[in-house]
Amino acid sequence: MSVEQSRLVRGPRQARSWHAGMLVRRLCLSAVLVMATGLFAQESADQPLGDVARQTRAEREQSGSRRKVYTNDDFAGPAQADSVADSADSDAKPSQSEPAASAKAAEPGAKAKDEDAKKEDELQKRTQDINKQYTDKVGDIQTQIATAKQDLEKLQRDQVESTNQFRNSNGTSPSLYEYQEQQRQLQQQMENQRNLISGLNSKLEDAQEAARHAGVRTGD
């Protein structure tokens, strides 16, 4: 067999050997991976879950690849975000109902104050009415006394005038009988006026005393 024929014969044989070697290597690699996986699974099964979790966190921290923790705010839509913002604003701002509640709570006190002021006004009005009654009564009596005194003075003047007329006429005009009758009537009227004035003075004293007991000043 020539050299060229030998090469041609060896070529297909080498190719088959190479493919067979590659297949064997792949099978060996697969077997190694299976064994490694089994060992890792067995080792993980033997290791507590807490240790596995801590080991996993440590590996993540070392690698610097931390996962982002998402909250409800990350998934809130515009409407929900606005609602959250409004809620925060409402918590920050004072409640608008507080002034209304304060005003409502203040209503009973204001009402009681108004009632007290109304009662005070009524009391002052009644006091003024009572004072007026006393002062009017005293003033009325004083007026009656003044009128009675004026009438008494007039009677006294009439008496003097009657006497002068009788004397000037030498007892002829008026006559003696008429003169005596005039004097008697004038004397009786003057006595009546004096009694009236005396009674009015007693009434005035009583009225003034009652006014003083009531705390009313009558200006006497």
Q: Is residue 72 part of a domain?
A: no
Please state, in angstroms and rounded to a whole number, the distance separating the CA atoms of residues 90 and 58.
43
For range 195-214, the mean pLDDT: 94
Question: If DSSP states are collapsed to H, E and C, what string results for 60-77?
Answer: HHHHCCCCCCCCHHHHCC
Asked, as a colleague might, if the bond just before 174 is cis with ω within 30 of 0, I would say: yes
Q: Is residue 138 part of a domain?
A: yes
Q: Is residue 108 part of a domain?
A: no
Q: Is residue 96 part of a domain?
A: no
Q: Is residue 38 part of a domain?
A: yes
Please state, in angstroms and rounded to a whole number, the distance separating the CA atoms of residues 211 and 132.
10
The boundaries of the domain holding residue 1 are 1-64
Q: What number of helices (H) and strands (E) belong to the chain? A: 6, 0
User: Which among 121, 143, 119, 136 is positioned nearest to 216, based on CA atoms?
Assistant: 136
- Per-residue model confidence as pLDDT tens digits over 57-75: 777 676 554 455 555 555 4
- Per-residue model confidence as pLDDT tens digits over 110-124: 788 888 888 889 988
Count of domains observed in the chain: 2
One domain for residues 128 and 60: no
Residue 151 scores a pLDDT above 90: yes
- Per-residue model confidence as pLDDT tens digits over 167-191: 999 888 889 999 999 999 999 999 9
One domain for residues 208 and 128: yes
Q: Is residue 58 part of a domain?
A: yes
Average pLDDT in the chain: 75
One domain for residues 129 and 208: yes
Share of the chain above pLDDT 70, in %: 56
DSSP letter string over 142-196? HHHHHHHHHHHHHHHHHHHHHHHHHHHTTT-SS-HHHHHHHHHHHHHHHHHHHHH
Residue 51 scores a pLDDT above 70: no
pTM above 0.75, yes or no: no
- Looking at 64, 84, 106, the residue that finishes a domain is 64
- Looking at 34, 49, 64, the residue that finishes a domain is 64
- Looking at 42, 64, 86, the residue that finishes a domain is 64
One domain for residues 128 and 196: yes
Q: Is residue 130 part of a domain?
A: yes
Q: How confident is the model at residue 50 (pLDDT cuts 50, 70, 90)?
A: low
- Per-residue model confidence as pLDDT tens digits over 152-165: 999 999 999 999 99
- Per-residue model confidence as pLDDT tens digits over 4-48: 445 444 455 555 666 667 776 777 676 666 665 555 455 544 455
Q: Is residue 134 part of a domain?
A: yes
